[in-house]
Structure 1
């Protein structure tokens, strides 16, 4: 008999090092370590060589901006290279991160993002910075407008779609379950219009998890997602099967944020009670847990991830 499903809130002890936003990007890890020591040249080289690989550029710029002293080093970089679009981008993302922590005025972060956008008109990354900020502290209408700015530069932007799904899932938080909620329509639309090999195929699973987060926080779902019926309905099963089948056919080993998708998909398979399928995903994930969705609705994510992984691997 397989072991019982994990309790997602079983322990509060966290191995914080395992929740690294850099994921498995070794070049990014090296550049961030150098930046922490004030050596911004590695970040410069990384961003310049990333070029117009927009999903990768966005991932790298956001993570570099999260380094605690990025803003100071970006300003030093700008003194050395006043016309640098990459330096302006790093400063913008660093100020966004500081604004999210309450250490910077949001209007100054917005101004820096607009400056970076002016230096690189085709780059969606400064607009991604604005979208990250507005999804946290701004109005929904402005978030939708900024999402349009990102899409006009790169229609399949992975991070931007995840942000909008999380934001749209919060509509009608007090109304309870709604199988026709608009976040599902948005995710289905994005997945259907994307190329066949696009990781946006997993977006309906992300929408389902984000909606659970909102419903559980409002008391409409139990705090243990495994105990919830949220993943047992016909529509949920169809969404999970379609996304898992896509992964089997198109596994995107090179996508910079693929581990985000794999964590959402593994979480869904655990909640669905399909341990063998979850185990296959955990093998690909390794130790690269992501806070979402393992923290949903209010759990310590790394212990939740470890408990779920141990239970899934025990079924095979």
Structure 2
């Protein structure tokens, strides 16, 4: 691709890119158009998304993260004040602005509640409130926001990941506890979800997020390869269950073709866990399926270059396969 790189796609020193839009090429195109003020493209994309709540949440959060998204969402809302899509985009953009410390959390929450009233069935404004509550809210506010999302779409992918991260951040100064609430939450959510749900990987997400918190607190090594975290019996059990789910799901071409892009996030978590466990052949299979979005994990550890570490491990995995 000739320079300059597309808007919103951060580039690291190795020339590798990680695009939060993942495999959603329509979203990437519309995100770049929105940054240039073409909000009509966002209107068309969100109208086409309909009530595919997982995809809608993914698209709104990616569109809302842009530095100019608040301004263009406001312009859209001025043109179409009754549009719930314009209100939802403005809510997400305002929340991300507040999370970056450039706006009032109270104003962002009010904006999201306005969007929620305009579309009572849509979990996306409540997803935005959960994003905000993770950074600026209380535990009760996070739980209430998650419950509101789940009441509208009980298997909401992004909301479950966010809640796992929130819970993992409790008890920052304690050693890893097999009875920690994040593990109970992830197991409960995976058991409640349908058999083909990517929430089967949530227990792995819980282990990764908890390790991230412990490493930041200095209670686990910065390099997970030096830790026994992934070699415990509990970790091996949840990884086996998640990997079995992936093997079954991956052979279903229809499911793979229609899955929304955030499934790549699940596979990234699972691939990293397999690498840290030393299961190189299984990790190589996952990395091959992830494709270009294996250049960076959706989570990383303190003081580590995720792209560099990931590619070094990928070369080792492919060499061992």
Greater relative contact order: 1 or 2 (C-alpha under 8 angstroms, separation 6 or more)?
1
2:286 paired with 1:281: yes
2:81 paired with 1:82: yes
2:305 paired with 1:300: yes
The answer for the alignment partner of 1:190 in structure 2 is: 189
Q: Deviations over 1:202-242 (max 9, x none)?
A: 00000000111111111221110111100001111111111
| CA distance in structure 2 between the aligned counterparts of 1:225 and 1:130, rounded to whole angstroms | 32
* CA contact 2:287–2:294 (8 Å) conserved in 1: no
Note the residue ranges of structure 2 that are not aligned, 5 or more in a row: 1-11
| CA distance in structure 2 between the aligned counterparts of 1:247 and 1:296, rounded to whole angstroms | 24
Secondary structure class of the residue paired with 2:22:
coil
Secondary structure class of the residue paired with 2:230:
coil
Alignment of 1:33-182 (within 5 A): 33-182=32-181
| CA distance in structure 2 between the aligned counterparts of 1:144 and 1:278, rounded to whole angstroms | 34
| CA distance in structure 1 between the aligned counterparts of 2:298 and 2:111, rounded to whole angstroms | 30
The answer for the alignment partner of 2:7 in structure 1 is: none
Q: Deviations over 1:46-92 (max 9, x none)?
A: 11110110000000000000112111111111121111110111111
Give the TM-score, by structure 1 length: 0.93
C-alpha displacement at 1:291, in angstroms? 5.7
Give the TM-score, by structure 2 length: 0.91
| CA distance in structure 2 between the aligned counterparts of 1:119 and 1:92, rounded to whole angstroms | 12
The answer for the alignment partner of 1:260 in structure 2 is: 265
| CA distance in structure 1 between the aligned counterparts of 2:196 and 2:69, rounded to whole angstroms | 34
Q: Deviations over 1:223-272 (max 9, x none)?
A: 10111100001111111111001000013522231011011000000000
What stretches of structure 1 move > 3 A for 4+ residues in a row? 13-17, 289-294
C-alpha displacement at 1:290, in angstroms? 7.4
Change (3 A) 1:225 1:100: same
The two structures, once aligned, show a CA RMSD in angstroms of 1.5
Change (3 A) 1:86 1:137: same
- Name the stretch that deviates more: 206-215 or 13-22: 13-22
| CA distance in structure 2 between the aligned counterparts of 1:101 and 1:291, rounded to whole angstroms | 22
Note the residue ranges of structure 1 that are not aligned, 5 or more in a row: 1-12
